[in-house]
Structure 1
Amino acid sequence: MNNNFSNLEENIKVFIDKIGIKNPPVIKKFFIGKGDPIRAAIIYMNGISNKNIIDRDILKPLMINVKEDILHSKELPTYLCERYIYMSDTYVEEDIDNAVNSVKRGKTVILINDISNFIVVDTTGGKIREISEPVSESFMRGPREGFVENLEVNLSMLQRIVKDNNLSIETITVGRRSKTDVSIVYIDDVADKDIVNNIKNRVSAIDVDVVQESGIVEQLIEKYPYTIFPQVVTTEKPDRVVANIMEGRLAIIVEGTPFAMILPAIFTDFFQSVEDYYERTIISSFVRILRIISVLIVITLPSIYLIFIRFNTELIPIKFIIPIIQSRKDIALPPLLEILSMEIVLEFLREGGLRLPSKIGQTLSVVGGFIIGDAAIRARIVSPATIVVVGVAAVATFVIPNYEMSLSIRLIRFPILFLSNLLGVLGIAAGFYILVIHLYSLDSFGVPYLLSNKHRDLKDICIRAPLWKMDERPRSIPNNNPIRQTNFRNKFRRKK
């Protein structure tokens, strides 16, 4: 929409009407020049604009430093930007709707009487959270900075790491009322164009009132809303985002949240950490194998214990069966309810610990677990062996590095537990069969979810090969530039 008004008062009224009288902007009228000065005004939003910058770099130069007679002309806004306004990010805007949107985002607009154009100055300010360590991701090695709630700061962290001119950042505004900026980040000559266009089209198609968090965008663009498995990887770490976009993936960063989304994602991505690449290959491979074992323990250990107790006690070694029988004497609950009750209590403690302040939450989880477990054993509600099995499975969930996937794995063990109670060993087999079929049926934005059919990718799935051997990008993620490094190690490889 082009501005059809040039009168100062009319323009101010249009701005107030478009911004809303319930949330009026700050308006300051003043004069520019000497002799026959020109009437002007600035408009900005209180709280999201930096008043010190406005006073020092806009009002002072225009009100005090202009010592000449100013002539009305279409070039006046450009002349003032180039000669008197100290800010580097200034431009002339012709569309009043764009100018209004700039004010809503913390910028300052300068209106000049009888001039239809506007001067837009970036005075974005207000208090934001300082860059700090990510809260949701613990690590021992690597950069300590994490994303914050400010989109410009988050993008600047990526730009400091990646200085490639192929780094592409495209920003789309979503939300009819919130007008939230959503940035899509990728490497232009690496990312697959079909995937890029697919994701851009999905984000552009979002038509809701408010977008407050990246999780809302995730749910609005995902293909399988009813699966329990996450289809994008979320992270607070800029280095993890960079590592993934270098493989041909895309990152989506939403204004107002420190959580970035990485997509497409495959199943094994959720059991890997960027820290794996900072450690030596044997250490990283051992940790990855440990994570796989922990997943199997979480899913199967309670069910296997239930099968041994209920169906196949003859498989338990004699040294163990006598203590187990003695510990189960006079137990009030059957084995299924024993395990189920303790699992649910642990979930209560875990979720309660997350919602409470950190120190109180940790105390609640540890002390609550000890007290409830000891009381349950003394009351003969559950056996000590059940407490051990449930406790080991609970500890194993903490090895899974991704919280969303950890929730999914914890949820899977309940249907498998019920199947095991009904069918024994066949129940576990049936549960895994259904699980694998479901995972094979999923895809993340066109990329198969479960396993890659590219054998070269195996060097970075269950184990992590030496970095110098990973000369190609993962073939499971479509990309336009498969080679990421040369065989430079030949220059200084050990001679036999």
Structure 2
Amino acid sequence: MQFIKKILQNNYRSIDTQLNQSDLPVSKQPLEKSLELNIAKIKLAFGHSKDIITQTILLKETSTIQIGFIYINGLISPISIQALITENLKVDSCEFTLNALRNSMSTLGQVRDISDFDTLYQSVLSGFTVILVDGYAQGFAANTQGGEHRSVEEPSTQSVVRGPREGFTEQISTNAALIRRKIKDANLWMESMTIGRVSKTEVAIMYINGIVNDKLVAEARIRLGRIDIDAIFESGSIEELIQDETFTPFPTLYNTERPDVIAAGLMEGRVAILVDGTPFVLMAPALFTQFYQSAEDYYQRADFSTLLRFLRYVCFFISLLAPSLYIAITTFHQELLPSSLLISLAAQREGIPFPAFIEAVGMEIIFEILREAGVRLPKTVGQAVSIVGALVIGQAAVEAGLVSPAMVIVVAITAIANFVIPSFNMAITIRILRFALMIIAASFGLYGITVGLIAIVLHLCSLRSFGIPYMAPMAPFILADQKDTIFRLPQWALFARPRLISQKNNIRENNAPTNKPEPRS
């Protein structure tokens, strides 16, 4: 026993000496022929982490060919590992070659060739299992990705009454598959890249070849290729790094967790950007009108969808202008109100110690606090806290004489109108601009609001999303694209794709202008 211990100690000392001489980890350092040395280097590179699993087996009971398996527990499927080991044991040890070993793994899916440690580390961290053979400075990586992940569920942020109930998950492979289930065409292309020096996050671009503008795809590649950062964990980081304009409250990229929305955007010639680890997929270019459209608009009749769109735009102006208009009229332009309403408002404000501007700002801030509290609290108590808090605080503020009842009504209507906006990003933008307009209204009245609206419109017209004007098809005005902007015409009339987005294959239907259904006699 002492003799065996001495041999093992000397063996490990020689391995440690070789590790120190190699100065690991080094990018693109070739594999060693010794399986034991390779495993020792891998353990050293990962800091002897407990989730790095290394297994060694003999090809046959009477064979001297030793095979090693390296994988990360939690990133792989145990069933795939068991099948991988079983397939390797089927190889005949008398006629063993690396090609025979590789061919035995071909039934398990994707197989990569491994010749250096950098490729080995990336494969293991991606959920692959690395297979190394003693005596060979080359190995393979088999796709055994698995582990715990969230199943496909209904989207929580963009729910619909009628439409699909499936939403993206945190796995990029699942998200790509959900899109391909909607578009079963070989022209749906996907390009993958890795972003993040440390996180090594997989990012993919999806588009339909033959419909998308090639310049748009090239621009997406260039912007993503310019990103040099240590980690990416969510698509929001990508959005900030590739957006056209940083200093603007308006979102210039669209994000959604609905596969049907992404599929519809791809059919219009847009580009989708998928990020591993997040259920929110980005889509470019994004136009202003796109944020006021819902997936349900295309699953309901055209007249219903048009009515709902008009309602959203009305709610947009209510949410943006209601508090500022109340401040401007009650402070500077009382002559615009009927005498009876003016007398009622004056009676309500009698004894209120603060001007209308302080009232509005205070109530808006309190409501924003309640809104955020309702989001952060557990779902079982979040809604109760926000509703009860708003009722109790509003009623107590009126009874205490701090705010007028009319101000509570205005703030409540404003908040409810803000919830009608389908896009959460655009709803936040309206909340930001609302405070700016309130300050202008308190200083200059309706003249200030008018100047503020003109400034907002000019800013919107100056924005671009991946080179496309943000306010298209209203500015520049494109008559043919008005069929699906503020209102939606029936499906048979939507025969053309947006002209500024798709530069080729613009026709959706054959003989589209004559596809209108004939009325029955």
User: Scaled by the length of structure 2, what TM-score is found?
Assistant: 0.90
Q: Give distance in 2, aligned partners of 1:284 and 1:213.
A: 32
CA contact (8 A) 2:88 2:104 kept: no
Are 1:46 and 2:70 matched, yes or no?
no
The match for 1:120 is 141
Q: Give distance in 2, aligned partners of 1:395 and 1:62.
A: 63
CA contact (8 A) 2:327 2:441 kept: yes
Structure 2 counterpart SS, 1:321? helix
The match for 1:157 is 178
Structure 2 counterpart SS, 1:424? helix
CA contact (8 A) 1:191 1:250 kept: yes
Q: Give distance in 1, aligned partners of 2:272 and 2:380.
A: 33
Q: Give distance in 2, aligned partners of 1:200 and 1:85.
A: 32
The match for 2:432 is 411
Q: What is the deviation of 1:13?
A: 3.3
Structure 1 counterpart SS, 2:434? helix
Q: Give distance in 2, aligned partners of 1:86 and 1:485.
A: 42
Q: Which runs of 4+ in 1 moved over 6 A?
A: none
Equivalent in 87, 91, 109 of residue 88 of structure 1: 109
Structure 1 counterpart SS, 2:93? coil
Equivalent in 56, 59, 69 of residue 85 of structure 2: 59
Please give the per-residue CA displacement for 1:360-403, whole angstroms capped at 9, x wherever unaligned.
11111111110010001001111111111111111100110000
Equivalent in 56, 59, 62 of residue 29 of structure 1: 56
Q: Give distance in 2, aligned partners of 1:332 and 1:345.
A: 18
Are 1:350 and 2:374 matched, yes or no?
no
Are 1:248 and 2:273 matched, yes or no?
no
Q: What is the deviation of 1:477?
A: 1.6
Q: Return closer, same or farther for 1:99/1:361 CA change in 2, 3 Å cut-off.
A: same
- Larger deviation: 446-455 or 341-350? 446-455
Q: Tell me which amino acid in the other structure corresponds to 1:54.
A: I
The match for 2:242 is 221
Q: What is the deviation of 1:90?
A: 3.0
The match for 2:347 is 326
Matches within 5 A, 1:276-315: 276-315=297-336
Q: Give distance in 2, aligned partners of 1:423 and 1:36.
A: 91
Matches within 5 A, 1:456-467: 456-467=480-491
Are 1:494 and 2:487 matched, yes or no?
no
Q: Give distance in 2, aligned partners of 1:85 and 1:34.
A: 24
Identity of aligned residues (%): 37
Q: Give distance in 1, aligned partners of 2:29 and 2:49.
A: 25
Q: Give distance in 2, aligned partners of 1:290 and 1:160.
A: 33
Q: What is the deviation of 1:475?
A: 1.4
Structure 2 counterpart SS, 1:332? coil
Matches within 5 A, 1:473-484: 473-484=497-508
Structure 1 counterpart SS, 2:482? helix
CA contact (8 A) 1:81 1:91 kept: no
The match for 1:264 is 285
CA RMSD of aligned residues (A): 1.9
Q: Return closer, same or farther for 1:491/1:378 CA change in 2, 3 Å cut-off.
A: closer
Q: What is the deviation of 1:222?
A: 1.3
CA contact (8 A) 1:37 1:70 kept: no
Instruction: For structure 2, list consecutive stretches of 5 or more residues without a partner in the other structure.
Output: 1-27
Q: Tell me which amino acid in the other structure corresponds to 2:260.
A: D
CA contact (8 A) 1:91 1:119 kept: yes
User: Scaled by the length of structure 1, what TM-score is found?
Assistant: 0.94
Equivalent in 480, 485, 492 of residue 468 of structure 1: 492
